[in-house]
Amino acid sequence: MFGTRMFESYINKLRLLRCHATDLKARDFRHRQTVWDPQSKLGACSGWTLWVTGSDSDASAIAWPWGFIEHGVPAIDPMQIQSNLLLLDAAGRPVPGHQALGVLVSVVNCLEWHLHAREACAKH
């Protein structure tokens, strides 16, 4: 898919960063890019968004697909969230995949990504 390849390529260029799960805060992320994806199956108006924190040489990134479902309700596909973060527990061990996904979804839900998504839809 258009969005998957584009953001996957960006994230793969970043180095893997370790971060304690409790230190990951939505307020640290800033919007980088949101695109409409005509090939997405999430809804008539859907696409991908990318949010970053840190400097270009040491950036953390989260990208995910979004779509507007019935009655214009914004939705994401959490199973497709991409990131270069390796989340750690309090003892410094990697957080299991399902728990790490829960932390990332929590961050995503605090971001105002839907405003950028609506803007991308309005252009198409």
Q: Which domains does the chain have, with CATH numbers?
A: 2-122 (3.10.450.610)
CA–chain centroid gap for 73, Å, is 18
The amino acid at 65: P
What mean pLDDT value characterizes the chain? 90
- On whether the CB atoms of residues 62 and 51 are closer than 8 A, the answer is yes
Amino acid present at 70: E
Q: What is the pLDDT of residue 3?
A: 57
What is the sign of the dihedral through the CA atoms of 36, 66, 85 and 107? positive
Residue 23's SS3 state is helix
Instruction: Return the closest-CA partner of residue 19 out of 104, 81, 105, 77.
Output: 104
96's tokens: 């299991």
Strands 17-20, 46-53: parallel, antiparallel or unpaired by DSSP? unpaired
Label residue 24 by pLDDT band (50, 70, 90): very high
As a whole number, mean pLDDT of residues 18-43 equals: 89
> How many alpha carbons lie under 13 Å from residue 16 in its C-beta half-sphere?
5
pLDDT in tens, 61-84: 999 999 998 888 999 989 999 999
